[in-house]
C-alpha cells in the first residue's frame, strides 16, 4: 500500500476519531464497542459521505482516490467490535452519496453539529478532504468548489481554508519540480546512501517518521504551524522511501 496514503489515513484516524461522538453515542478509541445505531448521522458516516462528494466532484473516482477511501473505511470501522458490518454499511453510504451533490451542505451542517466545539477536528476534516481532492495530482475547479462549500458549512475560516489549499498546491508543485522524485534526492531526504542495505535504510526511515509524525507532535502540544510542516515533511519522507524501495526491487 502507498505509504503516503497509509500515514495520512493514520493521522486522520487519530484526529477524526478523537472524542468520536454521535448523538447520544461516544466512542473511546482504546475500547472497542459495538455500534448498532444510524451510521448516516454518525461522524464516520458523515465523513464518508463528504468524501464521496469530493471524490465525485471532477466526474470520476481515480484509483488513488479509491485506495484512500478503502483504507479510510477500514480505519474508521476498526474502532468497533462489529468492524466488518460497520465497514460494509459505510461503504453503502459512500456509494449512495456518489449519486449527487444536492445534500452536500446538509451533510456538512450535520457534521458541524457533532463537532461544534472542536474547530481543530473540523479543520483536520477539511484537510483530509483536500488531500483526497489533490491525491491524483489534479485539483479541478469543481473539486475546489465542493471543498469550499463544505469548508464554509463547517464554519472554517476562509484564511485557514485558503492556507490549506495553498499548502497542497505548493507541495505538489515542488514534487513535480524534482524535489522528491529523483533517487539521489530520496537518499538525501532519508539521510542514507546507496551503499546502505535496505534494513539500514528502513531504520533511518522509521526514525524520521517518528520525528515528524503529526499526531505524535500534537500529543506533545506542538503548535499547528509545526504540525503542518511535519505533515508535508512526512509526505516527502514516505515518497523518498518508496522511490528507494522500487529502485531495489
Q: Which three cell numbers stand for residue 7?
A: 500515514
Q: Give me the residue spans of the domains in the chain.
A: 3-177, 178-249
20 in helix, strand or coil?
strand
- Which CATH fold topology does 178-249 show? Helix Hairpins (1.10.287)
- Which CATH fold topology does 3-177 show? TerB-like (1.10.3680)
pLDDT at 182: 83
DSSP string, 21-75: EETTEEE-TTS-B---S-GGGSHHHHHHHHHHHHHHTTSS--HHHHHHHHHHHHH
pLDDT digit string, tens, across residues 179-199: 556 888 899 999 999 899 999
Give me the residues paired with residue 33 across strands. Answer: 80
More confident residue, 193 or 249: 193
User: Which residue, among 45, 69, 72, has the nearest Cα to 55 in the 3D structure?
Assistant: 69
The Cα 17–Cα 39 span in angstroms is 14
- Provide mean pLDDT across the span 7-29: 45
pLDDT digit string, tens, across residues 197-217: 999 999 998 888 888 876 667
DSSP string, 71-110: HHHHHHHTTBTTHHHHHHHHHHHHHHHTT-STTHHHHHHH
pTM flag (> 0.75): no
Amino acid at each position: 500500500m502507498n505509504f503516503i496514503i497509509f500515514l495520512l489515513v493514520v493521522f486522520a484516524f487519530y484526529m477524526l476519531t478523537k472524542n468520536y461522538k454521535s448523538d447520544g453515542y461516544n466512542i473511546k478509541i482504546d475500547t472497542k464497542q459495538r455500534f448498532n445505531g444510524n451510521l448516516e448521522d454518525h461522524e464516520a458516516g458523515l465523513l464518508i459521505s463528504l468524501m464521496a462528494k469530493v471524490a465525485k466532484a471532477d466526474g470520476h473516482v481515480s484509483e488513488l482516490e479509491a485506495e484512500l477511501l478503502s483504507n479510510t473505511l477500514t480505519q474508521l470501522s476498526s474502532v468497533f467490535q462489529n468492524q466488518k458490518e460497520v465497514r460494509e454499511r459505510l461503504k453503502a453510504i459512500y456509494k449512495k452519496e456518489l449519486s449527487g451533490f444536492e445534500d452536500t451542505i446538509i451533510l456538512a451542517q450535520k457534521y458541524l453539529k457533532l463537532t461544534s466545539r472542536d474547530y481543530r477536528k473540523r479543520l483536520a476534516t477539511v484537510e483530509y478532504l483536500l488531500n483526497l481532492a489533490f491525491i491524483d495530482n489534479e485539483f479541478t475547479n469543481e473539486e475546489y468548489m465542493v471543498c469550499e462549500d463544505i469548508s464554509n458549512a463547517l464554519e472554517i475560516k476562509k484564511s485557514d481554508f485558503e492556507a490549506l489549499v495553498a499548502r497542497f498546491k505548493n507541495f505538489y508543485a515542488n514534487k513535480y519540480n524534482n524535489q522528491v522524485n529523483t533517487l539521489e534526492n530520496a537518499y538525501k531526504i532519508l539521510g542514507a546512501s546507496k551503499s546502505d542495505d535496505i534494513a539500514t535504510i528502513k531504520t533511518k526511515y522509521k526514525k524520521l517518521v517518528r520525528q515528524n509524525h503529526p499526531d505524535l507532535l500534537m500529543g506533545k502540544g506542538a503548535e499547528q504551524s509545526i504540525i503542518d510542516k511535519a505533515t508535508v515533511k512526512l509526505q516527502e519522507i514516505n515518497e523518498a522511501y518508496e522511490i528507494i524501495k522500487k529502485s531495489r526491487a
